[in-house]
Amino acid sequence: MEGLNAALATIATTPAMFGRCCQMTLRHKDIHGRRLGSTGDFAIDFEMRIGRGSSAVTYAARDRATGEQVACKVTNPRRVGSDGAERERHILQMLNHRHVIAFKGHGRSSGSARHHLLFLEMASGGDLFDVVAKSNGKLSEDVLRRLFSQMIEAVAHCHSAGVAHRDLKLENFVLDAAGDVKLIDFDLAHVYGWQLKEGASVIDRSQPLREPCGTMGFAAPEVRTRAGYDGFAADLWSLGVCLFAMAMGCLPFNEATVVDPEFTAFTRAIASGCSPTEAALAGRRGPRRSLALRAILDGLLSVDPLKRLTISELQESAWLVSARPVPSPGHGAAVISSTRTSPH
Protein backbone atom coordinates (compact mmCIF):
# COMPACT_ATOMS: atom_id res chain seq x y z
CA MET A 1 0.00 0.00 0.00
CA GLU A 2 1.26 3.49 -0.86
CA GLY A 3 2.64 5.49 1.99
CA LEU A 4 3.60 2.55 4.19
CA ASN A 5 6.50 3.29 6.49
CA ALA A 6 9.49 1.00 6.55
CA ALA A 7 9.76 -0.91 9.82
CA LEU A 8 11.07 1.22 12.67
CA ALA A 9 12.02 4.03 10.30
CA THR A 10 10.49 7.34 9.35
CA ILE A 11 10.00 7.79 5.64
CA ALA A 12 12.37 10.62 4.85
CA THR A 13 11.21 13.69 2.99
CA THR A 14 14.01 15.33 1.03
CA PRO A 15 15.04 18.77 2.29
CA ALA A 16 13.85 20.34 -0.96
CA MET A 17 10.42 18.73 -0.73
CA PHE A 18 10.06 19.55 2.94
CA GLY A 19 11.21 23.10 2.34
CA ARG A 20 8.50 23.65 -0.30
CA CYS A 21 5.91 22.22 2.06
CA CYS A 22 6.99 24.58 4.83
CA GLN A 23 7.09 27.62 2.55
CA MET A 24 3.65 26.82 1.16
CA THR A 25 2.21 26.46 4.65
CA LEU A 26 3.99 29.49 6.04
CA ARG A 27 2.53 31.72 3.36
CA HIS A 28 -0.88 31.14 4.93
CA LYS A 29 -0.51 33.21 8.08
CA ASP A 30 -4.30 33.09 8.51
CA ILE A 31 -4.43 29.35 9.23
CA HIS A 32 -6.79 28.94 12.15
CA GLY A 33 -8.76 26.11 13.65
CA ARG A 34 -11.93 26.82 15.53
CA ARG A 35 -12.37 25.23 18.93
CA LEU A 36 -15.59 23.29 19.12
CA GLY A 37 -18.28 25.27 20.89
CA SER A 38 -16.14 28.38 21.15
CA THR A 39 -15.27 31.49 19.23
CA GLY A 40 -11.60 31.12 20.14
CA ASP A 41 -8.90 29.79 17.82
CA PHE A 42 -5.37 28.49 17.84
CA ALA A 43 -2.01 30.07 17.07
CA ILE A 44 0.46 27.76 15.32
CA ASP A 45 4.21 28.12 15.81
CA PHE A 46 5.66 27.00 12.48
CA GLU A 47 9.16 27.46 13.85
CA MET A 48 8.63 24.63 16.35
CA ARG A 49 8.16 21.34 14.52
CA ILE A 50 7.61 18.49 16.97
CA GLY A 51 7.11 15.59 14.60
CA ARG A 52 6.70 14.48 11.01
CA GLY A 53 5.58 11.41 9.12
CA SER A 54 4.98 10.37 5.53
CA SER A 55 1.88 12.52 5.12
CA ALA A 56 1.81 15.01 7.98
CA VAL A 57 3.93 17.46 9.95
CA THR A 58 3.15 18.34 13.57
CA TYR A 59 3.84 21.77 15.04
CA ALA A 60 3.47 23.32 18.45
CA ALA A 61 0.38 25.48 18.85
CA ARG A 62 -1.51 27.39 21.52
CA ASP A 63 -5.16 27.81 22.32
CA ARG A 64 -5.57 31.57 22.26
CA ALA A 65 -8.58 31.47 24.56
CA THR A 66 -7.06 29.34 27.32
CA GLY A 67 -3.31 29.57 26.72
CA GLU A 68 -3.09 25.76 26.64
CA GLN A 69 -0.16 24.35 24.70
CA VAL A 70 -1.40 21.89 22.05
CA ALA A 71 -0.08 20.10 18.97
CA CYS A 72 -1.21 20.88 15.43
CA LYS A 73 -1.06 18.01 12.96
CA VAL A 74 -0.97 19.41 9.41
CA THR A 75 -1.96 16.71 6.92
CA ASN A 76 -1.50 16.99 3.18
CA PRO A 77 -4.69 15.56 1.61
CA ARG A 78 -2.79 14.73 -1.57
CA ARG A 79 -0.76 12.18 0.39
CA VAL A 80 -3.27 10.65 2.79
CA GLY A 81 -6.52 11.60 1.05
CA SER A 82 -9.32 13.69 2.49
CA ASP A 83 -11.13 10.54 3.61
CA GLY A 84 -8.25 9.49 5.85
CA ALA A 85 -7.93 12.92 7.45
CA GLU A 86 -11.68 13.21 8.03
CA ARG A 87 -11.80 9.65 9.37
CA GLU A 88 -9.13 10.46 11.93
CA ARG A 89 -10.97 13.58 13.06
CA HIS A 90 -14.29 11.76 13.52
CA ILE A 91 -12.64 8.88 15.38
CA LEU A 92 -10.79 11.19 17.76
CA GLN A 93 -14.01 13.08 18.44
CA MET A 94 -15.64 9.75 19.30
CA LEU A 95 -12.91 8.40 21.59
CA ASN A 96 -12.35 9.67 25.10
CA HIS A 97 -9.67 7.94 27.15
CA ARG A 98 -6.67 9.06 29.18
CA HIS A 99 -4.31 6.95 27.02
CA VAL A 100 -5.70 8.08 23.64
CA ILE A 101 -4.53 11.48 22.43
CA ALA A 102 -7.23 14.05 23.14
CA PHE A 103 -8.92 15.97 20.32
CA LYS A 104 -8.99 19.76 20.77
CA GLY A 105 -10.23 21.18 17.45
CA HIS A 106 -9.81 21.14 13.69
CA GLY A 107 -9.59 23.39 10.64
CA ARG A 108 -8.42 23.71 7.03
CA SER A 109 -5.72 25.90 5.57
CA SER A 110 -6.49 28.49 2.93
CA GLY A 111 -5.08 28.24 -0.59
CA SER A 112 -5.22 25.41 -3.10
CA ALA A 113 -3.69 22.69 -0.91
CA ARG A 114 -6.38 22.93 1.79
CA HIS A 115 -4.31 21.11 4.39
CA HIS A 116 -6.24 19.40 7.18
CA LEU A 117 -5.43 20.73 10.64
CA LEU A 118 -5.97 18.66 13.76
CA PHE A 119 -5.37 20.29 17.14
CA LEU A 120 -4.47 17.67 19.71
CA GLU A 121 -3.32 17.24 23.26
CA MET A 122 0.39 17.98 23.59
CA ALA A 123 2.57 14.91 24.21
CA SER A 124 6.09 16.21 24.68
CA GLY A 125 7.85 13.09 25.98
CA GLY A 126 8.84 11.46 22.68
CA ASP A 127 7.61 8.06 21.51
CA LEU A 128 8.20 4.44 22.46
CA PHE A 129 10.60 3.95 19.57
CA ASP A 130 12.90 6.46 21.30
CA VAL A 131 12.46 4.61 24.59
CA VAL A 132 13.41 1.26 23.01
CA ALA A 133 16.34 2.72 21.08
CA LYS A 134 17.79 4.28 24.22
CA SER A 135 17.19 1.25 26.45
CA ASN A 136 18.72 -1.35 24.08
CA GLY A 137 16.48 -4.02 25.57
CA LYS A 138 17.32 -3.16 29.17
CA LEU A 139 13.94 -1.90 30.36
CA SER A 140 12.94 -3.54 33.62
CA GLU A 141 9.79 -5.66 33.65
CA ASP A 142 8.18 -3.17 36.02
CA VAL A 143 8.68 -0.39 33.47
CA LEU A 144 7.57 -2.67 30.63
CA ARG A 145 4.46 -3.65 32.56
CA ARG A 146 3.52 -0.04 33.28
CA LEU A 147 3.94 1.08 29.66
CA PHE A 148 2.32 -1.98 28.12
CA SER A 149 -0.65 -1.81 30.52
CA GLN A 150 -1.34 1.72 29.30
CA MET A 151 -0.99 0.63 25.67
CA ILE A 152 -3.52 -2.14 26.28
CA GLU A 153 -5.93 0.29 27.94
CA ALA A 154 -5.80 2.54 24.88
CA VAL A 155 -6.37 -0.29 22.40
CA ALA A 156 -9.11 -1.84 24.55
CA HIS A 157 -10.95 1.48 24.59
CA CYS A 158 -10.68 1.73 20.81
CA HIS A 159 -12.00 -1.80 20.35
CA SER A 160 -14.87 -1.21 22.76
CA ALA A 161 -15.94 1.66 20.46
CA GLY A 162 -15.61 -0.54 17.34
CA VAL A 163 -12.33 1.02 16.20
CA ALA A 164 -9.51 -1.13 14.84
CA HIS A 165 -6.38 1.06 14.71
CA ARG A 166 -4.56 -0.98 12.00
CA ASP A 167 -1.23 0.83 12.38
CA LEU A 168 -0.08 0.07 15.90
CA LYS A 169 3.67 0.55 16.20
CA LEU A 170 6.15 2.03 18.65
CA GLU A 171 6.11 5.43 16.95
CA ASN A 172 2.34 5.70 17.39
CA PHE A 173 2.54 5.40 21.15
CA VAL A 174 3.82 8.73 22.44
CA LEU A 175 4.48 9.95 25.97
CA ASP A 176 3.23 13.06 27.70
CA ALA A 177 5.29 15.15 30.11
CA ALA A 178 4.42 12.77 32.96
CA GLY A 179 5.61 9.74 30.99
CA ASP A 180 2.12 8.35 30.35
CA VAL A 181 1.29 6.65 27.05
CA LYS A 182 -0.96 8.27 24.43
CA LEU A 183 -2.08 6.46 21.26
CA ILE A 184 -1.99 8.60 18.10
CA ASP A 185 -2.52 8.47 14.29
CA PHE A 186 -5.91 7.05 13.34
CA ASP A 187 -5.92 7.87 9.61
CA LEU A 188 -5.76 4.13 8.70
CA ALA A 189 -8.26 3.02 11.33
CA HIS A 190 -11.44 1.10 10.54
CA VAL A 191 -14.71 1.66 12.38
CA TYR A 192 -16.93 -1.41 12.59
CA GLY A 193 -20.70 -1.11 12.54
CA TRP A 194 -23.07 -2.38 15.18
CA GLN A 195 -25.86 -4.94 15.06
CA LEU A 196 -28.61 -6.15 17.37
CA LYS A 197 -27.96 -9.60 18.79
CA GLU A 198 -30.28 -11.11 21.36
CA GLY A 199 -31.63 -7.68 22.15
CA ALA A 200 -28.21 -6.08 22.68
CA SER A 201 -26.03 -3.93 20.43
CA VAL A 202 -22.79 -5.68 19.53
CA ILE A 203 -19.92 -4.81 17.22
CA ASP A 204 -20.41 -6.46 13.82
CA ARG A 205 -17.09 -8.02 12.79
CA SER A 206 -18.68 -10.67 10.59
CA GLN A 207 -17.16 -9.30 7.37
CA PRO A 208 -13.38 -9.57 6.98
CA LEU A 209 -11.34 -6.49 6.15
CA ARG A 210 -9.34 -6.69 2.94
CA GLU A 211 -7.37 -3.45 2.68
CA PRO A 212 -3.68 -4.17 3.34
CA CYS A 213 -2.40 -1.42 5.57
CA GLY A 214 -0.10 -0.74 8.49
CA THR A 215 3.66 -0.71 8.89
CA MET A 216 5.59 -3.67 7.51
CA GLY A 217 7.45 -4.72 10.64
CA PHE A 218 4.31 -4.56 12.79
CA ALA A 219 1.47 -5.68 10.50
CA ALA A 220 -0.06 -9.12 11.13
CA PRO A 221 0.67 -11.88 8.59
CA GLU A 222 -2.99 -12.24 7.60
CA VAL A 223 -3.16 -8.54 6.64
CA ARG A 224 -0.97 -9.27 3.59
CA THR A 225 -3.10 -12.14 2.32
CA ARG A 226 -6.19 -12.09 0.13
CA ALA A 227 -8.26 -14.08 2.59
CA GLY A 228 -9.19 -11.00 4.64
CA TYR A 229 -8.55 -10.35 8.31
CA ASP A 230 -10.13 -9.26 11.56
CA GLY A 231 -8.99 -5.77 12.55
CA PHE A 232 -8.99 -6.46 16.28
CA ALA A 233 -6.90 -9.63 15.95
CA ALA A 234 -4.47 -7.78 13.67
CA ASP A 235 -4.08 -5.07 16.32
CA LEU A 236 -3.21 -7.75 18.91
CA TRP A 237 -0.40 -9.09 16.70
CA SER A 238 0.96 -5.55 16.38
CA LEU A 239 0.86 -5.15 20.15
CA GLY A 240 2.87 -8.37 20.39
CA VAL A 241 5.54 -7.01 18.05
CA CYS A 242 5.68 -3.79 20.10
CA LEU A 243 6.10 -5.74 23.34
CA PHE A 244 8.76 -7.98 21.81
CA ALA A 245 10.75 -4.94 20.66
CA MET A 246 10.37 -3.29 24.07
CA ALA A 247 11.39 -6.44 25.95
CA MET A 248 14.14 -7.73 23.65
CA GLY A 249 15.48 -4.54 22.08
CA CYS A 250 14.88 -5.64 18.49
CA LEU A 251 12.10 -6.49 16.06
CA PRO A 252 11.32 -10.20 15.60
CA PHE A 253 11.56 -9.86 11.80
CA ASN A 254 11.35 -7.21 9.07
CA GLU A 255 7.88 -8.18 7.89
CA ALA A 256 5.48 -11.04 8.56
CA THR A 257 5.39 -12.36 4.98
CA VAL A 258 7.05 -15.20 3.08
CA VAL A 259 9.23 -12.58 1.39
CA ASP A 260 11.16 -12.20 4.66
CA PRO A 261 13.55 -15.14 5.31
CA GLU A 262 13.44 -14.41 9.06
CA PHE A 263 9.66 -14.78 9.14
CA THR A 264 9.87 -17.97 7.09
CA ALA A 265 12.40 -19.33 9.61
CA PHE A 266 10.07 -18.19 12.40
CA THR A 267 7.12 -20.21 11.08
CA ARG A 268 9.34 -23.26 10.47
CA ALA A 269 10.72 -23.10 14.00
CA ILE A 270 7.19 -22.99 15.43
CA ALA A 271 6.19 -25.96 13.26
CA SER A 272 9.13 -27.88 14.74
CA GLY A 273 7.99 -27.21 18.28
CA CYS A 274 9.60 -23.91 19.29
CA SER A 275 7.55 -21.31 21.11
CA PRO A 276 6.91 -18.07 19.17
CA THR A 277 9.26 -16.17 21.48
CA GLU A 278 12.09 -18.68 20.97
CA ALA A 279 11.42 -18.74 17.23
CA ALA A 280 11.46 -14.94 17.01
CA LEU A 281 14.75 -14.70 18.87
CA ALA A 282 16.21 -17.15 16.34
CA GLY A 283 19.27 -17.92 18.42
CA ARG A 284 19.87 -14.31 19.43
CA ARG A 285 20.57 -13.85 23.12
CA GLY A 286 17.77 -11.67 24.43
CA PRO A 287 17.49 -10.26 27.95
CA ARG A 288 16.31 -12.66 30.64
CA ARG A 289 12.55 -12.30 30.86
CA SER A 290 10.01 -13.96 33.11
CA LEU A 291 7.99 -16.94 31.93
CA ALA A 292 4.81 -14.89 32.42
CA LEU A 293 6.06 -12.20 30.02
CA ARG A 294 7.15 -14.81 27.48
CA ALA A 295 3.71 -16.41 27.73
CA ILE A 296 2.13 -13.12 26.61
CA LEU A 297 4.55 -12.86 23.68
CA ASP A 298 3.75 -16.46 22.71
CA GLY A 299 0.03 -15.71 22.80
CA LEU A 300 0.22 -12.50 20.81
CA LEU A 301 2.67 -13.74 18.17
CA SER A 302 0.43 -16.60 17.10
CA VAL A 303 0.41 -16.72 13.30
CA ASP A 304 -3.11 -18.16 13.46
CA PRO A 305 -5.38 -15.24 14.47
CA LEU A 306 -7.95 -17.66 15.90
CA LYS A 307 -5.36 -18.85 18.43
CA ARG A 308 -4.05 -15.38 19.22
CA LEU A 309 -4.78 -13.78 22.58
CA THR A 310 -7.82 -11.52 22.64
CA ILE A 311 -7.75 -8.15 24.36
CA SER A 312 -9.72 -9.45 27.36
CA GLU A 313 -7.44 -12.50 27.72
CA LEU A 314 -4.45 -10.17 27.54
CA GLN A 315 -5.87 -7.94 30.26
CA GLU A 316 -6.28 -10.96 32.55
CA SER A 317 -2.86 -12.46 31.86
CA ALA A 318 -0.77 -13.42 34.88
CA TRP A 319 2.04 -10.99 34.05
CA LEU A 320 -0.28 -7.99 34.11
CA VAL A 321 -2.62 -9.08 36.90
CA SER A 322 0.26 -9.90 39.26
CA ALA A 323 1.17 -6.23 39.73
CA ARG A 324 -2.14 -4.57 38.93
CA PRO A 325 -3.03 -1.78 41.38
CA VAL A 326 -6.60 -1.34 42.54
CA PRO A 327 -8.03 1.08 39.93
CA SER A 328 -9.30 4.43 41.13
CA PRO A 329 -12.93 5.26 40.31
CA GLY A 330 -13.40 6.05 36.64
CA HIS A 331 -10.00 4.70 35.57
CA GLY A 332 -10.72 1.04 34.92
CA ALA A 333 -9.55 -0.37 31.61
CA ALA A 334 -12.20 -1.16 29.05
CA VAL A 335 -12.93 -4.85 28.57
CA ILE A 336 -14.71 -6.17 25.51
CA SER A 337 -15.89 -9.53 24.29
CA SER A 338 -13.19 -12.13 23.81
CA THR A 339 -14.97 -13.57 20.77
CA ARG A 340 -12.66 -14.37 17.90
CA THR A 341 -13.88 -13.97 14.34
CA SER A 342 -12.76 -15.89 11.30
CA PRO A 343 -12.52 -14.41 7.78
CA HIS A 344 -15.18 -15.78 5.45
Residues classed as catalytic: 167
Residue type, 184: I
Looking at the chain, the number of H-run helices and the number of E-run strands are 11, 12
Dist. CA 60–CA 173, nearest whole Å: 18
Give the angle subtended at the CA of 298 by the CAs of 294 and 300, to the nearest 5°.
115
Q: Which is nearest to 71 in space by CA: 174, 155, 161, 188?
A: 174
Dist. CA 117–CA 340, nearest whole Å: 37
Which residues does 286 contact at the CB level (< 8 Å), separation at least 6? 137, 247, 248, 249, 250
Helical ranges in the chain per DSSP H: 15-26, 77-80, 82-94, 128-135, 141-160, 231-248, 261-271, 276-281, 291-300, 311-315, 318-321
